[in-house]
DNA sequence: TTCCTTTCTTATATGGTTAAGGTGAGAAAA
DNA sequence: TTTTCTCACCTTAACCATATAAGAAAGGAA
């Protein structure tokens, strides 16, 4: 492997000069600099970032620590969009981007600080951590800068940022959308209890129900781990004995599961039962019928988190919490019981 | 940041002993070792892998270099399964796993060796490289061990491995499956010309056509870049003036696009036109109708590639090319014109 | 002669590994 | 009993690929 030494030797200078040449130090002769650069090109040399980071104690990388990605909620391509966004943001900042994986179990064996130090991670974007994960608890005590995707801390921390949407408000809108269209008997298909977004989204549904004078009943709430199969099974069981007019699903994948259950029982969506999802995953536009959902921009979420992390690391961040916009995407999976009234109203 | 020095100081020994303790050297006293480990635990210390790799000149990581992942063919979750598999394999080997991204453009700016040296990559799994990518050309000359996903070299290289399925044979089976069911007028929706799998899969379709005495005509071949939208558009245009009985699509996503085009034109799938896909992406089981396709195990592909890379790096590899099994998954998107005959035959 | 620039070298640092050398205690040999 | 050997255990120093502060040499200007 060609190293800085080889370049130095060939250029007839010490390694220090080569290093300086690459770091734009002023005390390198113009001709020497050119010679060094030419030789570097010739030898196909470029400085080793790893050694560079080690030596300079700076860090020129955006790291994503993705937790629990082997679980079901990753069946969609949302994470991929997020990756892309972070990649794009890193490019903008001229930083390297790498992804590391962990899971709830591994987190018990190795602490967050250890994980970061082993890999020279000066700051990280964290995705997929649950509220009861060790990393989440440790984060506050350590001062490794980080940005949380879709999790917001109770108390703001100087070195912890968040990028998310107003999940609570979004499901409130979504539920209100159903209520405004005449739905009164609404079942809820929730995800994983330990997920922050699940908590928030659930609160939002309750907010809407209460605001419209409806009651929230536990027997209409199901947890399906953000998994289509589980949602399918729970919905099927429930639909055999009950007939809600709508299902609020806290992810599109679960919405798909619910629709499948309904359709297999001979129910039409949305005529017999309406279904709404969340995320605007790719599948939401591919099912029959297509799913009305909350669209969030995962790419932008990734990009923003890269930029925010960079600001936090450099101590430039003013606002550590970024809320992105979302949009209620009307598609085909909701029945409007007030259809005629509305049409009259519109005309 | 706590380093080996802090542990050494607190334990009252030199850094060398601490290092040796962590690397299971025999010349460390039993009591000293215990003391060091206790202190390490207390200080939340674990060795920095980066510095370790730098110093020992070994490498304890499996790296995935993913190219062109911002393009359309990543809309599905196949890559995710692959990631999971590599992660799993790395865990088995007790190695770290990280992903790096690049694209065709970036590859022109920085050579493969440079990319690897900058990141201390001793060996990499390469995904998504095209036949005309710079990295692909450079790989042969350099001796950085690597494993290619879904690409096989013309001439075997000692430090280049491959993990894939028999793509050519698979599409031959798939096409034969259609022909056996009475299809004669078969259109082909291909992906990206520069992709190795596209080449192979296309050859397989031709193989089947020729073997069954059918001719391969260019006007029935379309390239849609593995993208559903492009496939949709090209299929729609074609279907307005032609009526093939079947479409062989070289990916499920494109199959979805073709089905959508057909359905919008009032054609039923599979009654009016049959469609087959490739990959068994998640969506293939979610569409209406579900898509008959070639199922491949991306998780296993990832796992195997991690194991193979490890063998190549350690010089233990006997066979550098691994072909995984695939399966023709019969679902709902194909019409059997010989249905009645077959039924009689079966009974 | 002194001082200042410019341009280089040297030395030390990063966080570790590892070969080679040193120390002291107990055992074997003289 | 003294000397030598052995062995367990530790330290030292060089190394990985780089950064950077501090020092030094050469040349020109004041």
DSSP A23-63: TT-SSS-HHHHHHHHHHHHHHT----HHHHHHHH----EEE
Quick: pLDDT tens for B124-153: 999 999 999 999 999 888 888 999 999 999
Q: Check whether residue A161 and residue A304 sit in a common domain.
A: yes
Chain length of chain A:
347
Quick: pLDDT tens for B74-121: 556 788 889 989 999 998 998 888 899 888 999 999 999 999 999 989
Which positions ≥6 away from B39 have C-beta within 8 Å? B7, B10, B11, B45
Per-residue confidence (pLDDT) for residue B72, from 0 to 100: 55
Which positions ≥6 away from A81 have C-beta within 8 Å? A298, A299, A302
Check pLDDT > 60 for residue A347: no
User: Residue B33: inside a domain, yes or no?
Assistant: yes
What's chain A's average pLDDT?
92
Per-residue confidence (pLDDT) for residue B140, from 0 to 100: 83
Q: Check whether residue B274 and residue B242 sit in a common domain.
A: yes
What's chain B's average pLDDT?
92
Per-residue confidence (pLDDT) for residue A342, from 0 to 100: 46
DSSP per residue, B101-147: EE-HHHHHHS-HHHHHHHTT-SSEEEES--TTSHHHHHHHHS---EE
Quick one: tokens of B309?
């890379």
Quick: pLDDT tens for A187-225: 999 999 999 999 999 999 999 999 999 999 899 999 999
Cis before A270 (ω within 30):
yes
d(CA B77, CA A253) in angstroms, rounded, equals 13
Q: Which of A256, A278, A296 is the last residue of a domain?
A: A296
Collect all residues of chain A within an 8 Å Cβ-Cβ radius of residue B76: 77, 282
Collect all residues of chain A within an 8 Å Cβ-Cβ radius of residue B51: 54, 120
pTM of the model: 0.90
User: Residue A107: inside a domain, yes or no?
Assistant: yes
User: Residue A340: inside a domain, yes or no?
Assistant: no
DSSP 8-state secondary structure symbol assigned to residue A187:
E
**Alpha-carbon distances of B281 from A278, B74, B76, B159, B236, rounded to whole Å:** 21, 11, 6, 31, 23
Is there a contact between A48 and B120 if contact means CB atoms under 8 Å apart? yes
Residue A195's domain is classified under what CATH number?
Answer: 3.40.50.2300
Q: Are the C-beta atoms of residues A13 and A36 closer than 8 Å to each other?
A: yes
Of the candidate ranges A290-299, B46-55, B68-77, the one whose mean pLDDT is the lowest:
B68-77
Distance A251 CA to C18 C1' (A): 54
User: Is residue B344 classed exposed, middle or buried when 0-12, 13-18 and 19+ CB atoms within 10 A define those classes?
Assistant: exposed
Q: Check whether residue A246 and residue A103 sit in a common domain.
A: no
Q: Check whether residue A235 and residue A268 sit in a common domain.
A: yes
Which positions ≥6 away from A28 have C-beta within 8 Å? A17, A20, A21, A36
Residue with token string 């260019």: B218
Per-residue confidence (pLDDT) for residue B133, from 0 to 100: 94
Does the C-beta of B48 come within 7 A of strand D? no
Check pLDDT > 60 for residue A340: no
Per-residue confidence (pLDDT) for residue A329, from 0 to 100: 97
Mean per-residue pLDDT, A255-279: 97
Per-residue confidence (pLDDT) for residue B122, from 0 to 100: 87
| Secondary structure (3-state) at B238 | helix
Q: Check whether residue B145 and residue B155 sit in a common domain.
A: yes
User: Residue A121: inside a domain, yes or no?
Assistant: yes
d(CA B288, CA B282) in angstroms, rounded, equals 13
Q: Is B341 on the interface with A (CB under 8 A)?
A: no
d(CA A255, CA A75) in angstroms, rounded, equals 13
Quick: pLDDT tens for A55-94: 988 888 999 999 987 775 555 678 888 998 999 999 899 8
Per-residue confidence (pLDDT) for residue B284, from 0 to 100: 94
Check pLDDT > 80 for residue A181: yes
Q: Check whether residue A276 and residue A232 sit in a common domain.
A: yes
Per-residue confidence (pLDDT) for residue B94, from 0 to 100: 85
Residue A9's domain is classified under what CATH number?
Answer: 1.10.260.40
| Secondary structure (3-state) at A88 | helix
Strand partners, B233: none
Per-residue confidence (pLDDT) for residue A339, from 0 to 100: 67
User: Residue B340: inside a domain, yes or no?
Assistant: no
Per-residue confidence (pLDDT) for residue A58, from 0 to 100: 85
Element (H, E) at B246: strand B246-249
> Which nucleotide comes closest to B14 if you measure CA to C1'?
D11
Per-residue confidence (pLDDT) for residue A323, from 0 to 100: 98
User: Residue A117: inside a domain, yes or no?
Assistant: yes
Positive or negative torsion for Cα B13, B17, B19, B23 = negative
Q: Check whether residue B214 and residue B286 sit in a common domain.
A: yes
Collect all residues of chain A within an 8 Å Cβ-Cβ radius of residue B53: 50
**Confidence tier at A3 by pLDDT (50, 70, 90):** very high
Range of the domain at B112: 60-165+297-324
Which positions ≥6 away from A270 have C-beta within 8 Å? A289, A332, A333, A334, A335
Per-residue confidence (pLDDT) for residue B75, from 0 to 100: 58
User: Is residue B117 classed exposed, middle or buried when 0-12, 13-18 and 19+ CB atoms within 10 A define those classes?
Assistant: buried
Q: Are the C-beta atoms of residues A244 and A220 closer than 8 Å to each other?
A: yes
Check pLDDT > 70 for residue B318: yes
Is there a contact between A288 and B283 if contact means CB atoms under 8 Å apart? no
Per-residue confidence (pLDDT) for residue A344, from 0 to 100: 43
> Which nucleotide comes closest to B11 if you measure CA to C1'?
D10
The closest alpha carbon to B134, from B159, B121, B162, B115, belongs to B115
User: Residue A338: inside a domain, yes or no?
Assistant: no
Q: Check whether residue B83 and residue B230 sit in a common domain.
A: no
Q: Is A119 on the interface with B (CB under 8 A)?
A: yes
d(CA B335, CA B347) in angstroms, rounded, equals 20
Check pLDDT > 70 for residue A33: yes
Distance A37 CA to D21 C1' (A): 24
User: Residue B19: inside a domain, yes or no?
Assistant: yes
| Bridge pairing between strands B326-329 and B293-296 | antiparallel
Per-residue confidence (pLDDT) for residue B69, from 0 to 100: 77
Q: Check whether residue A116 and residue A139 sit in a common domain.
A: yes
Q: Check whether residue A288 and residue A199 sit in a common domain.
A: yes
The closest alpha carbon to A176, from A243, A239, A248, belongs to A248
d(CA A248, CA A175) in angstroms, rounded, equals 7
Of the candidate ranges B65-69, B73-77, B251-255, the one whose mean pLDDT is the lowest:
B73-77
**Alpha-carbon distances of B69 from A82, B64, B98, B127, rounded to whole Å:** 12, 12, 15, 9
Quick one: tokens of B233?
């558009």
User: Is residue B290 classed exposed, middle or buried when 0-12, 13-18 and 19+ CB atoms within 10 A define those classes?
Assistant: middle
Task: Nearest by CB to B76, from A45, A69, A77: name it.
Answer: A77
Chain A residue with the nearest C-alpha to that of B117 = A48
Per-residue confidence (pLDDT) for residue A211, from 0 to 100: 96
% of chain B exceeding 90 in pLDDT = 80
Collect all residues of chain B within an 8 Å Cβ-Cβ radius of residue A84: 69-70
Quick: pLDDT tens for A91-144: 899 888 889 988 899 999 999 999 999 998 989 999 999 999 999 989 888 888
Q: Which residue has the higher pLDDT, A69 or B294?
A: B294
Quick one: tokens of B237?
């245009």
Collect all residues of chain A within an 8 Å Cβ-Cβ radius of residue B282: 75-76, 283
The number of domains in chain B is 3
Q: Check whether residue A281 and residue A192 sit in a common domain.
A: yes
Per-residue confidence (pLDDT) for residue A345, from 0 to 100: 43
Quick: pLDDT tens for B159-179: 999 999 999 999 999 999 999
Per-residue confidence (pLDDT) for residue B345, from 0 to 100: 42
Distance A19 CA to D17 C1' (A): 10
Task: Nearest by CB to B46, from A46, A87, A118: name it.
Answer: A118
CA of A79 to nearest chain B CA: how many angstroms apart? 9
**Interface subset of B 96-115, CB within 8 angstroms of A:** 96-101, 110-111, 113-114
Of the candidate ranges A235-239, A327-331, B8-12, B77-81, the one whose mean pLDDT is the lowest:
B77-81
> Which nucleotide comes closest to A56 if you measure CA to C1'?
D19
% of chain B exceeding 70 in pLDDT = 96
CA of B99 to nearest chain A CA: how many angstroms apart? 5
Q: Check whether residue A91 and residue A110 sit in a common domain.
A: yes
């Amino acid at each position: 492997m060609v190293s800085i030494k080889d370049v130095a030797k060939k250029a007839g200078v010490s390694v220090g000069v080569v290093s300086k040449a690459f770091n734009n130090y002023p005390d390198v002769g113009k001709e020497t600099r050119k010679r060094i650069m030419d030789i570097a090109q010739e030898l196909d040399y470029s400085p080793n970032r790893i050694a560079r980071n080690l030596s300079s104690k700076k860090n020129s990388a955006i790291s994503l620590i993705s937790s629990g990605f082997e679980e079901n909620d990753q069946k969609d391509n949302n994470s991929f969009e997020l990756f892309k966004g972070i990649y794009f943001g890193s490019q903008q900042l001229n930083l390297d981007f790498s992804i590391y994986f962990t899971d709830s179990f591994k987190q018990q064996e190795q602490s967050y600080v250890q994980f970061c130090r082993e890999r020279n991670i000066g700051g990280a974007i964290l995705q997929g951590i649950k509220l009861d994960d060790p990393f989440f608890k440790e984060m506050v005590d350590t001062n490794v800068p980080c940005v949380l995707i879709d999790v917001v801390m109770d108390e703001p921390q100087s070195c912890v940022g968040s990028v998310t949407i107003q999940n609570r408000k979004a499901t409130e809108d979504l539920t209100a959308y159903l209520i405004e269209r005449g739905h009164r008997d609404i079942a809820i298909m929730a995800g994983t209890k330990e997920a922050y977004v699940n908590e928030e989204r659930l609160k939002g549904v309750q907010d809407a129900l209460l605001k419209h004078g409806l009651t929230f009943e536990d027997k209409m709430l199901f947890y399906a781990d953000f998994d289509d199969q589980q949602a399918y099974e729970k919905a099927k069981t429930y639909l055999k004995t009950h007939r809600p007019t709508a299902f609020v699903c806290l992810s599109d994948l679960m919405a798909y599961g619910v629709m499948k259950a309904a359709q297999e029982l001979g129910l039409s969506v949305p005529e017999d039962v309406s279904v709404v999802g969340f995320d605007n995953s790719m599948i939401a536009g591919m099912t029959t019928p297509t799913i009305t959902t909350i669209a969030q921009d995962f790419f932008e979420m990734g990009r923003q988190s890269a930029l925010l992390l960079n600001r936090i690391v450099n101590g430039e961040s003013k606002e550590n919490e970024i809320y992105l916009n979302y949009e209620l995407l009307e598609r085909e999976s909701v029945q409007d019981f007030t259809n005629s009234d509305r049409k009259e109203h519109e005309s």
